[in-house]
């Protein structure tokens, strides 16, 4: 019986045959992991842990360097595992040409120009458009189980951090409390750098935690997530620290929650991503505050924090059962602050489920 990675490679092979692509160079780290179980991350933005070559007909190859040999042979047969040292391009040329591979599809979003120039000296290259991502966009049962677990830990985090917030804490301290909780409770790492904004800083959708302190009776926006069993969670809450929330805070939060619920109520297979966005936008439009909603409604989540699809006014796709997306409307005013509230939902056969 084939394991999940072999099944995924078979699905990709069928896609390659349909599109008449003889072989695909997989240089995107999350795509590499999805197809092989090897190294979800690259060590630096200018380094690669390794490349996969998936063939439409034939054996697949994994190329990596000596640092990853033991890890690679734990998930990949040694007959098709190739270790490069001085020049990986020479090795790739020799190995692939001996296997009859003369042309490669490439992932243009995940290939440096330096690598492209070296590869084109040896192969005919053709750009591809999100081939592996088109498989990753629908989550299987095990992926959904992992994402539910990641989200459960994220929910616990927000229950914990709401009780920890108090006047005098800095944004940096809040951020550290978040990371420590995740680490101490089993997360492999943060899904992304935690966003914390107090008071007017909450108007910055991607606020970087600094030395600003929480004041009594003030808002605190926290957007965070963890990676658990390799899959990410992503949630936002905006809390009020103190016992006298302002009328504007209460009214704005009520609008944001209404917009979020309006979107959740309509999300289902076959709904366009644009219509999902419009469901939330129309709530703000009726209230005359749509100009304060400055970003899309949500995005896919999985091995990466930001994946397809995008719930926005421009994304052309439709929702399908098995997709996992965030629903995160927000209203922002630089002179005051901002409120965002974010859930992750699984698109089901007849609607969606908040994870």
For the chain, what is the domain count?
2
Domain shared by 124 and 152, yes or no: no
Domain shared by 129 and 149, yes or no: no
344 neighbors 151 (Cβ within 8 angstroms)? yes
Return the SS3 of 180: helix
- Cα separation, 53 vs 105, in Å, equals 9
The pair of structure tokens assigned to 94 is 């020799």
Domain shared by 109 and 43, yes or no: yes
Neighbours of 109 (CB within 10 A): 12
Domain shared by 333 and 216, yes or no: yes
CATH number assigned to the domain comprising residue 185: 3.90.230.10
Q: pTM above 0.85?
A: yes
189 neighbors 228 (Cβ within 8 angstroms)? no
- Cα separation, 155 vs 161, in Å, equals 10
Domain shared by 118 and 198, yes or no: no
Helix (H) or strand (E) holding 336, with range, is none
Domain shared by 125 and 205, yes or no: no
Domain shared by 176 and 42, yes or no: no
Domain shared by 350 and 213, yes or no: yes
Give the domain range for residue 154. Answer: 138-354
Cα 87 from chain centroid (whole Å): 32
Q: Starting at the edge strand that comes first in sequence, how are the strands of the sheet with 298-300 ordered?
A: 307-311, 298-300, 324-327, 343-347, 352-354
- Cα separation, 16 vs 12, in Å, equals 6
| Helices and strands (H, E) in the chain, number of each type | 10, 19
Report in angstroms the alpha-carbon separations of 56 from 19, 51, 239, 292, 306.
Answer: 10, 16, 52, 48, 28
Q: pLDDT value at position 47? A: 74
- Domain end, chosen from 102, 136, 170, is at 136
Helix (H) or strand (E) holding 270, with range, is none
Domain shared by 50 and 90, yes or no: yes
- Cα separation, 20 vs 103, in Å, equals 11
Percent helix / strand / coil, the chain, rounded to 5: 40, 25, 35
Domain shared by 146 and 239, yes or no: yes
The pair of structure tokens assigned to 115 is 């690598």
CATH number assigned to the domain comprising residue 21: 3.40.350.10
88 neighbors 63 (Cβ within 8 angstroms)? yes
- Domain end, chosen from 103, 118, 136, is at 136
Q: pLDDT value at position 45? A: 77
Domain shared by 120 and 225, yes or no: no
Domain shared by 238 and 191, yes or no: yes
CB contact set of 172 (below 8 Å; sequence gap of 6+): 196, 209, 210, 211
Q: pLDDT value at position 1? A: 62
Q: Please, what's the b/e burial string for 256-266 (b: 16 or more CB within 10 A of its CB; e: otherwise)?
A: beebbbbbbeb
Please give the full DSSP string across 228-239, using - where no structure is assigned. ETTEE--EEEEE
- Domain end, chosen from 106, 136, 166, is at 136
- pLDDT tens for the chain, 355 residues long, are 679 999 999 999 999 999 999 999 999 999 999 999 988 887 777 778 889 999 999 999 999 998 988 988 988 998 899 998 878 899 999 999 999 999 999 999 999 999 999 999 999 999 999 999 999 999 999 999 999 999 999 999 999 999 999 999 999 999 999 999 999 999 999 999 999 999 999 999 999 999 999 999 999 999 999 999 999 999 999 999 999 999 999 999 999 999 999 999 999 999 999 999 999 999 999 999 999 999 999 999 999 999 999 999 999 999 999 999 999 999 999 999 999 999 999 999 999 999 9
The pair of structure tokens assigned to 289 is 């505050």
């Amino acid at each position: 019986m084939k394991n999940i990675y072999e099944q995924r490679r078979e699905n990709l092979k069928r896609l390659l045959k349909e599109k008449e692509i003889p072989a695909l160079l997989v240089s995107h780290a999350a795509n590499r992991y999805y197809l092989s179980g090897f190294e979800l991350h690259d060590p630096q933005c200018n380094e690669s842990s390794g490349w996969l070559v998936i063939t439409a007909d034939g054996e697949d190859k994994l190329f990596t360097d000596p640092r990853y040999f033991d890890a690679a042979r734990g998930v990949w047969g040694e007959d098709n595992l190739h270790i490069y040292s001085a020049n990986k391009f020479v090795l790739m040329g020799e190995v692939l040409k001996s296997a009859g591979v003369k042309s490669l599809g490439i992932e243009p979003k995940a290939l440096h120009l330096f690598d492209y120039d070296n590869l084109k000296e040896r192969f005919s290259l053709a750009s591809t458009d999100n081939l592996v991502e088109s498989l990753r966009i629908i989550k299987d049962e095990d992926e959904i189980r992992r994402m539910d677990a990641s989200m459960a830990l994220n929910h616990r985090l927000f229950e914990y951090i709401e009780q920890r917030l108090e006047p005098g804490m800095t944004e940096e301290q809040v951020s550290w409390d978040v990371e420590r909780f995740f680490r101490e409770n089993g997360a492999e790492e943060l899904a992304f750098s935690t966003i914390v904004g107090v008071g007017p800083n909450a108007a910055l959708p991607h606020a970087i935690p600094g030395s600003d302190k929480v004041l009594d009776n003030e808002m605190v926006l926290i957007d965070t997530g963890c990676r658990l069993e390799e899959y990410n969670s992503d949630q936002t809450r905006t809390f009020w620290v103190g016992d006298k929330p302002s009328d504007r805070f209460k009214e704005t939060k009520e609008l944001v929650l209404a917009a979020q619920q309006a979107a959740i109520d309509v999300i289902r297979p076959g709904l366009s991503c644009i219509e999902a966005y419009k469901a939330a936008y129309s709530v703000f439009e009726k209230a005359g505050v749509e100009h304060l909603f400055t970003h899309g409604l949500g995005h896919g989540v999985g091995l990466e924090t930001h994946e397809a699809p995008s719930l926005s006014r421009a994304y052309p796709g439709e929702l399908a059962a098995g997709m996992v997306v965030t629903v995160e409307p927000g209203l922002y005013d630089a002179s005051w602050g901002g409120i965002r509230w974010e859930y992750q939902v699984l698109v089901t056969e007849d609607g969606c489920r908040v994870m």
